[in-house]
Amino acid sequence: MYGSLPRLCRGRVGVGASLASTDSQPMNAPAETFKSRAHDKLNDAKVQRAMRNFNLAGARARGIADLDNFEDIRTAAAAIRDRSLASLDLWLARFEQEATRRGTKVHWAETHADINRIVIEIARATRVKKIIKSKSMVSEESHLNDALEAEGFQVVETDLGEYIVQLAGEKPSHIIAPAIHKSRDDVADLFVQHHKTPRKTDIGELTMEARKFLREHFLSGEMGISGGNFLIAETGSLMLVTNEGNGRMTTTLPRVHVAITGIEKVLPTLEDASCILRLLTRSATGQSISNYVTLNTGPKQPGDLDGPEEMHVIIVDAGRTRLLGTDMQEALRCIRCGACMNHCPVYQNIGGHAYGWVYPGPIGSVLTPNYIGLENAIDLPNAATLCNQCGVVCPVKIPLPDLMRKLREKQVDRGLRPWQERLGLKLWAWVAKRPGIYALATRIAARLGRSMGGADRVIHRLPGNGWTEGRDMPAPAGKTFRELYAERKR
């Protein structure tokens, strides 16, 4: 049904030899192997070091402290997002009408395959060869770079983090800090290999070297592909929120600009965008505003010295309408700030690649099963302690733990849990319905448990699973509650 799904199960395709990597796993294995990947990442010293260095949570806390009424703004922002979703088709039609009037060509993509097809058609029709990209997570969903390279187009990611992961032949591990899993030494090695320059390890020098090489690409790129933080229905504008300036370059210098974004990203008015912006940048990096907030409304006007001759916006469904009108709809409020992953104890320990698809962390654990199928991401809704840190920090009040719990229920309802678990629960239900057998079984278990504890009355090792690998379990007292209760009564 969804065009790119088979790709999830294949190896990376269509990547030029110069960009191929030998030692790193790209993130397009199915999300169902989460457990083994999480295990690998926990034992990967590099990932562990990178995750320890990573602290956007502190920056967010300082940014939020700036606002005297964060909770009120948060409520308002959630209401703005809900308003868009409540009449989504009509807001999109309003956006399309105004964007078209201003000369933007609006395309609709039902599937991931549609996105790639539309971009390739535009690239062919406009005879471009070199394509520069600023960040687009939707294009990661559709493996757009692979599709373009397979058709012979040169694609250069220009966000520094995206550029680094592209050179490494990998995928982003965080939605706003794509190369957070890479150390400066990794980057230094990649630059020596690809730029053929003397090795530098100073982060400032590495950034400057990337600037120099990417500047050449900006000046020679013929098509710019961007994502879109928001679509403004009022004015038919595309809003981009960036820090590096590559988003501005990508939408100013090449002669064709193609923006790709999801149907859910439409906002009614400029004021609504301003309200949400106060929370987006603070929640992401703690900044009161990012360095560049850009609204693009149509192509170059008569007499303009810069700007693209053509502007296209691709509005993408690819699974999103399946959440609308369901108990999962709140996930579509997401404004992609990354706060949920920055505060998630699971993400903090395993990094983004373990999640196996485009969106990591709690929001990924909700979106991935919905977009690619619950059966293809069986572990993700369970990859959380439900501590609700994500729910507390989400700027648009997505009840992430509730949504993960609902997905767990759906897994059970659809019989997707492993047979051992299903059998175990059935057995337990059978026993629990029979008080005599239940009493006997618990008496045996309590005594067995007691005998497993040593002199310190602690169980250090349980057979059959890894639960006791990192912790001990207090041994039961040897008698069940019902026995003790009966004794007290006497």
Is the Cβ of residue 305 or residue 455 nearer to another protein in the bound state?
Answer: 305
Measured from the CB of residue 57, what is the shortest distance to another protein in angstroms? 12
Measured from the CB of residue 219, what is the shortest distance to another protein in angstroms? 5
Is the Cβ of residue 76 or residue 441 nearer to another protein in the bound state?
Answer: 76
Is the Cβ of residue 44 or residue 234 nearer to another protein in the bound state?
Answer: 234
Q: For residue 145, give both structure tokens.
A: 């770079």
Residues 6+ apart with CB under 8 A from 124: none
> CA-CA distance, 82 to 84, in Å (whole number)?
5
Is the Cβ of residue 109 or residue 155 nearer to another protein in the bound state?
Answer: 109
Is the Cβ of residue 35 or residue 62 nearer to another protein in the bound state?
Answer: 62
Measured from the CB of residue 216, what is the shortest distance to another protein in angstroms? 8
Residues 6+ apart with CB under 8 A from 407: 328, 365, 366, 369, 370, 374, 380, 381
Measured from the CB of residue 456, what is the shortest distance to another protein in angstroms? 42
Is the Cβ of residue 180 or residue 334 nearer to another protein in the bound state?
Answer: 180
Measured from the CB of residue 81, what is the shortest distance to another protein in angstroms? 12
Is the Cβ of residue 125 or residue 437 nearer to another protein in the bound state?
Answer: 125
Is the Cβ of residue 327 or residue 456 nearer to another protein in the bound state?
Answer: 327
Measured from the CB of residue 9, what is the shortest distance to another protein in angstroms? 25
> CA-CA distance, 324 to 263, in Å (whole number)?
11
> Is 171:179 a contact under the CB 8 Å cutoff?
no
Is the Cβ of residue 220 or residue 388 nearer to another protein in the bound state?
Answer: 220
Is the Cβ of residue 197 or residue 326 nearer to another protein in the bound state?
Answer: 326
Measured from the CB of residue 324, what is the shortest distance to another protein in angstroms? 4
Measured from the CB of residue 332, what is the shortest distance to another protein in angstroms? 11
Q: Is the dihedral of CA 237, 242, 248, 249 positive or negative?
A: negative
Measured from the CB of residue 252, what is the shortest distance to another protein in angstroms? 5
Measured from the CB of residue 187, what is the shortest distance to another protein in angstroms? 5
